Structure 1
Amino acid sequence: MDWSSIAWTRWMFNFAFFYPIIMAFFWMTGGVYYYLRRERNAPRPDAPPPMPHTPFVSVLVPCFNEEDHIVSTITALSAQMYPDFEIIAINDGSSDRTRELLDALVADHPRLRVVHLAENQGKANALRMGTLAAASDYLVCVDSDAMLDPHAVRWMVGHLIDGPRVGAVTGNPRIRNRTTLLGRMQIGEFSAIIGLIKRAQRTYGRLFTISGVICAFRRTALHDVGYWSDQMVTEDIDISWRLQMAGWDIRYEPNALCWILMPETLRGLWSQRLRWACGGVEVLLSHGRSVLAWRKRRMWGVLLEYMLSLAWAYVMLTIIVLWLVGMFVTLPPAWHVETMLPRWHGVVLAFVCMLQFGTSLMIERRYETKLTRHFYWVIWYPIAFWMLGMFTAVVAFPRTLLRRRRRAVWISPDRGAPA
């Protein structure tokens, strides 16, 4: 075979085409196995199994400028169907009415304690301060705009007392705001993509990250790895890697439901996803080399998956750039991209994508009986969110390389309104 005669674009197209298909079947296989083994005959989310004992639990709520949501969040936490817990709200130098609202809530919620920090020092530091104030070895961390299901604490703490090497548990975030196209597409993303990936990763070995909006930790595990890093843009990805590299187990609990708000503007969505992408690159640069050690081999799959996704983003960008340049300049045949319009391979990719969505939505019906009504909106996910993911990954890599390491402080995110 004359390798010089093979068009480079053919190799790029093959990778761009086969990578998402292979990963889709990888996630579907792992997700279905997880469902059949752990979920199909499990109790419903509102009927958790009895626990041998119910240890005291500390619920940490770091917040910054959350006057619109903090009352509903604390109210939902106070309604937890768990016998013995405290709520610690850490006000990280808010400039709005968050401080006044928290102080007023103490009178109505006897389990609530409030810690006020003088200035904005970031979520990681707020969580560390909350841990110092906590009285329990079992910590449940909830974002200050989230609505926790009444049984969520019981579901997560059950894992922590189940095994001494369980260092963290991640819950199941669900989208609250569903009035716009972006909001409805994210319903499918969190169930058909994020939920399925977490099930598959749990089946095959290690999780890429916990969901920072709803998670639980064993304090001794956090102490073992030095707690959260205030130098990382996404403290949840970093703590997930460090815990697992140190030999701690992270579990996924889909019954621990948490209702969250997500951006409903393109600008807000871009800022959020760029931060997530920068967090992934930071973890790769900080821990990628140490993960290659043999005793950390169970992390190799997570590392390979992330590196392939980053390579896919740059390959897709190259294809798009070559197609645009080829519209104005005659390129050598090996670099010519005739069209970006989908042909037979596009039809196959769309079919596999819908198969993945359908598989995941059927699994997720345990938690939302009317979830399949959003299947139509999921159809638009590949066009919008694959491109968004590609561009944020491409921008995040050089941006992270050039970023000066400094404390990552809070920035008030763009959120939509609850439905």
Structure 2
Amino acid sequence: MNKFWLVLGHTYVTKLKAKAFLITTAITCLLIIGLANIKTIIEFFTSDEQEHVAVIDRTESLYKALEKQVNREEITLTKITDMEDEAKRAVKEGEWDGLLILSMDAEGLPEAAYYANTIADNRTPEELERVLNELKTALSAAKIGLTEEQMAVLYQPVPFQKVALEENAKTEEELNQARSLVYVLLFAMYMFVLMYGGMMATEVATEKSSRVMEILVSSVSPVQHLFGKIIGVALVSLTQFFVFFAVGFTALKMNGQELWRFLGFDNVSMSIWVYALIFFLLGYLLYAVLFAVLGSLVSRVEDVQSAITPAMILVIVAFMIAMSGLNMPESAFIIGASFIPFFTPMLMFLRVGLVSVPMWEVALSFALLLATIAVLIYIGAKVYRGGVLMYGRMNIFKDMKQAVQLTKK
């Protein structure tokens, strides 16, 4: 057991002190702080930016109404009497940001054309179009003699309530908040497995390519070495994630209150966090064994990516199914797929986070997941012990068979 702790400690400390780890952690923390303050940053750079739009009003009646309703914080309108060609030339030379030409159609209703050097930025034309649509609606109502009260009734939305009859079912507001939280946690789980699973495979392949593995395997049992690596890298990744979470939590609490409330973090039950942690760790353990075994089959670090591709595809497929299930967590496909062990960590957590799942289903998914992990560990230890002693060109299925045969010798 002492050798297990030696492998674990060496893996953890070495990775934790690595310059790449420290630099990546620092850069990611800065990005998290930036995302939490993105609204403030955007406002800082755009607070003094207004679009100056010249207006040629051929109707002689729309400009005043347009100016009253447009968002003056973003757009400044100026009525001009220039000819159309002269006004377009002024836009090209930068005197105006845009040119709006107002006119009437055959039915006496507003129509407009907007000119700018580029139309990549939709904010200004969309705002002008919104206001003109409102003016058109008002003019159309006046033509057929509708009063403001009648217009208000006409455009009043239909009262439509969504009521869940199932006991303990979430309300619509709770579901929207839960979807946001589940999405964030699913994405974190997805990135966690891909990032640190790859690190696991690379770590094994690096030791193997330097022939250090031959010495290690002769003194440490393959199971101890395998789990020492897995748990060591897991602790490194959890340390990094704890730093990210602490930085993100602090930044959102201080400067991202709107985003914090939108995500619904204040209203999340403790059971959701418990489920998230359990599925998070079990999902990592499941894929970590796969990544470590696949990494032991390659002789060069350059071959790691191609070796772990099957496991990465499984993670990506699970994530894509989970994303599609955010709006239909009770579909038969999502329910059935949530019992497939390689999809369980994401899909069962998705279901638990959004709907009421019978406890026997959760227990069954846990049992299937743990049984799969046990089988993978048993087979993985055999493949791992022989795989780390194999060198040459990689052929996954052939190499696995040969690795098991080497273990029996």
With normalisation by structure 2, the TM-score equals 0.19
With normalisation by structure 1, the TM-score equals 0.18
Q: Which has the larger radius of gyration?
A: 2
